[in-house]
A and B are shown apart, each in its own frame.
Chain A
Amino acid sequence: MIAESMYQELILEHYKHPQGRGLRDPYDAEVHHVNPTCGDEITLRVKLGDGGKVEDVSYDGQGCSISQAAASVLHELAAGSTVDETLAVVEEFTRLMQSRGQVEADEDVLGDAVAFAGVAKFPARVKCALLAWMAYKDAVVRSST
Chain B
Amino acid sequence: MNTGFDVERIRKDFPVLSRELSGGRPLVYLDSGNSAQKPTQVIDVMREHLAMHYSNVGRAMHALGAESTEAYENARDKIAAFVGAPSRDEIVFTKNASEALNLVAYGFGNPTNDDPRFRLGPGDEIVISEMEHHSNIVPWQLLAQRTGATLKWFSVTDEGRLDLSNLEELVTERTKIVSIVHQSNVLGTVNPVAEVLARARQVGALMMLDASQSVPHQQVDVAALGVDFLAFTGHKVVGPSGIGVLWGRGELLEAMPPFMGGGEMIEAVWMDHSTYAPAPHKFEAGTPPIVEAIGLGAAVDYLSAIGMDAIVRHERELTGYALGALREVPGLRVIGPQSLDRRGGTVSFTLEGIHPHDVGQILDDNFGVAVRVGHHCARPLHLRFGIPATTRASFYLYNTPAEIDALVRGLHHVQKVFA
Bound CA–CA A4/B413 (angstroms): 11
Quick one: given A1-B366, A6-B361, A38-B357, are A63 and B374 in contact (CB under 8 Å)?
no
- Which residues of chain A are near B23, meaning CB under 8 Å? 1-2
Residue of B nearest to A6 (CB): B361
Across the interface, B355 reaches (CB within 8 A) one of A6, A12, A65, namely A65
Q: A1-B23, A1-B365 are in contact. Are A39 and B379 (CB under 8 A)?
A: yes
- CB interface residues, B 367-415, toward A, < 8 Å: 373-375, 379, 382, 388-389
Q: A12-B417, A12-B418, A38-B389 are in contact. Are A4 and B366 (CB under 8 A)?
A: yes
- Chain B residues closer than 8 Å to A4, beta-carbon distance: 362, 365-366, 417
Chain A residues positioned under 8 Å from B356 (CB to CB): 64
Interface majority SS on B: helix, strand, loop or mixed? helix
Cβ-defined contact, B361 with A125, below 8 A: yes
For residue B364, CB closer than 8 A to chain A, the reply is yes
- Residue B70 at the chain A interface, CB threshold 8 Å: no
Smallest CB-CB separation from A1: which chain B residue?
A: B366
Q: Which residues of B lie under 8 Å from residue A40 when comparing CB positions?
A: 357, 388
Q: Is B358 an interface residue (CB 8 A)?
A: yes
Chain B residues, CB < 8 A from A64 = 355-358
**Distance in Å: Cβ of B80 to nearest Cβ of chain A:** 37
Check: A117 CB closer than 8 A to any chain B CB.
no
Question: Which residues of chain B have C-beta atoms less than 8 A from A38's C-beta?
Answer: 357, 373-374, 389
**CA separation between A68 and B356, bound complex, in Å?**
13
Q: Is the CB of B418 within 8 A of A65?
A: yes
- List the B residue with the shortest CB-CB distance to A41: B388
Closest residue of chain B to A2 (Cβ to Cβ) is B365
Complex contacts, B365 vs chain A, CB 8 Å: 1-4
CB contacts under 8 Å to B, within A1-41, are 1-4, 6-7, 12, 15-16, 37-41
- Could you tell me the distance in whole angstroms from the C-beta of B352 to the nearest C-beta in chain A? 13
Find out whether the CB atom of B361 lies under 8 angstroms from the CB atom of A3: yes
**Nearest-Cβ distance from residue B239 to partner chain A, whole angstroms:** 25
Most A-side CB within 10 Å, residue of B361, B362, B364, B417: B361
Let me know if B417 and A128 touch, CB within 8 A. Answer: no
Q: A38-B374, A39-B389 are in contact. Are A63 and B361 (CB under 8 A)?
A: no
Find residues 20-52 in chain B having any chain A CB closer than 8 Å to their own CB: 22-23
Q: How far is the CB of B88 from chain A (nearest CB, A)?
A: 39
Nearest CB in chain A: distance from B28 CB, A: 15
Q: How far is A102 from B317 in the complex, measured between Cα atoms in Å?
A: 46
B356 to chain A, nearest CB (A): 8
Give B192 Cβ to nearest chain A Cβ, in Å.
30
- Cβ–Cβ < 8 Å partners of B373 in chain A: 38
Q: Find chain A residues with CB under 8 A from B355 CB.
A: 63-65, 68
Q: Closest B residue to A16 by CB, please name it.
A: B418
Decide if A3 touches B362 in the complex (CB within 8 Å).
yes
Contact with A along B343-355 (1 / 0, CB 8 A): 0000000000011
Which of B354, B364, B374, B418 lies in contact with A37, CB distance below 8 A?
B374
Q: Which residues of B contact A3 (CB under 8 A)?
A: 361-362, 364-366
For residue A18, give the distance in angstroms from its CB to the closest CB of chain B: 13
Interchain CA distance A118-B291 in the complex, whole Å: 41
- Expressed in whole angstroms, the Cα–Cα distance for A39 and B356 within the complex equals 11
Tell me if A66 and B388 are in contact (CB < 8 A). Answer: no
Roughly how many angstroms separate A125 CA and B365 CA in the complex, as a whole number?
13
Chain A nearest CB, measured from B134 CB (Å) = 11
Contact partner of B388 (CB less than 8 A), chosen from A12, A62, A128, is A62
Known: A37-B374, A39-B389, A63-B388. A128 touches B364 (CB 8 A): no
Q: Measured between alpha carbons, how far is A12 from B418 in the docked complex, in Å?
A: 7
Indicate which residue in A7, A16, A39, A62 contacts B374 across the interface (CB closer than 8 Å): A39
Q: List residues of B whose CB falls within 8 A of some A CB.
A: 22-23, 354-358, 361-362, 364-366, 373-375, 379, 382, 388-389, 417-418
What would be 17 A-B contacts, judged by CB atoms less than 8 Å apart?
A1-B23, A1-B366, A3-B366, A4-B362, A12-B417, A38-B374, A39-B374, A39-B389, A40-B357, A40-B388, A41-B388, A62-B388, A63-B357, A66-B357, A68-B355, A122-B361, A125-B357
- Which 9 A/B pairs are nearest by Cβ-Cβ distance? A3-B365, A64-B357, A64-B355, A2-B365, A39-B388, A65-B358, A3-B361, A64-B358, A38-B374
A37-B374, A38-B389 known; 13 other A-B pairs, CB under 8 Å? A1-B366, A4-B365, A16-B418, A38-B373, A39-B375, A40-B388, A63-B355, A63-B357, A64-B356, A64-B357, A65-B418, A66-B357, A68-B355
